[in-house]
Amino acid sequence: MSRPPLTFAPHHSTLIAPYMPPSPSPSSHPRKPHTTLTFATSLDSNLALSPGTQTPLSGPLSKALTHYLRSRHTAILIGVGTAIADDPSLNCRIAGVALEHQPRPVVLDPHGRWPISATSSVVQLAREGQGRAPWIITCRELEAEKREVVESVGGQVFVVSPPPPPKFPLATPISWPHILALLSTHGITSLMIEGGGTVINTLLHPNNMALVDSVIVTIAPVWLGRGGVQVCPEARADEHGAKVPVSRLRDVQWVPLGEDVVLCGRPAGRG
Ligand SMILES: NC(=O)C1=CN([C@@H]2O[C@H](COP(=O)(O)OP(=O)(O)OC[C@H]3O[C@@H](n4cnc5c(N)ncnc54)[C@H](O)[C@@H]3O)[C@@H](O)[C@H]2O)C=CC1
Ligand SMILES: Nc1nc(O)c(N)c(N[C@@H]2O[C@H](COP(=O)(O)O)[C@@H](O)[C@H]2O)n1
Mean pLDDT by 10 residues, the chain (271 residues): 83 91 77 96 98 97 97 97 98 93 97 97 97 97 97 97 60 85 97 97 94 98 98 96 96 97 92 52
Q: How far is the CA of 151 from the centre of ligand 2 (A)?
A: 25
The neighbouring-strand residues paired with 133 are none
Question: Which residues fall within 8 angstroms of residue 72, CB to CB, at 6 or more apart?
Answer: 20, 21, 190
Burial class (CB in 10 A: 0-12, 13-18, 19+), 271: exposed
- All domains in the chain, ordered by first residue: 32-267 (3.40.430.10)
8 A C-beta contact, residue 70 and residue 192: yes
Ligand 1 centroid to 195 CA: how many Å? Answer: 5
Query: Which ligand is nearest to the Cα of residue 218, counting in written order?
Result: 2
Angle subtended at Cα 233 by Cα 248 and Cα 257, rounded to the nearest 5 degrees:
60
**Could you identify the atom of ligand 1 that is nearest to the CA of residue 54?**
41
What percent helix, strand, coil does the chain show, rounded to 5? 25, 25, 50
User: Is this prediction's pTM over 0.90?
Assistant: yes
Ligand 2 — pocket residues by CB below 6 A? Answer: 40, 54-58, 63, 66, 78, 82, 86, 88-90, 194-195, 218
Tell me the ipTM for this assembly.
Answer: 0.99
**Cα 215 to ligand 1 centre (Å):** 17
CA distance 209 to 85: 25
Which atom belonging to ligand 2 lies closest to the Cα atom of 86? Answer: 20
User: Considering only CA atoms, which residue is closest to atom 21 of ligand 2?
Assistant: 194
Query: For a pocket test of ligand 1, which of 70, 82, 231, 263 has the largest count of ligand atoms closer than 8 A to its C-beta?
Result: 82
Is any atom of ligand 1 closer than 6 Å to the C-beta of 77? no
**Is the C-beta atom of 172 inside 6 A of ligand 1?**
yes
Of 167, 200, 229, the residue with max ligand 1 atoms within 8 A of its CB, to mutate for a pocket test, comes to 229
| Cα–Cα distance for residue pair 156/221, rounded to 1 Å | 39
Instruction: Report CA(240)–ligand 2 centroid distance (Å).
Output: 40
Distance (angstroms) between ligand 1 centre and the Cα of 194 equals 9
Pocket mutation for ligand 2, best pick of 54, 192, 224 (most atoms within 8 Å of C-beta)? 54
Nearest by Cα to 137 from 88, 70, 184: 184
- Angstrom distance (rounded) from CA 4 to CA 6: 6
Please work out whether the CB of residue 162 comes within 6 Å of at least one atom of ligand 1.
no
Span from the CA of 55 to the centroid of ligand 2 (angstroms): 8
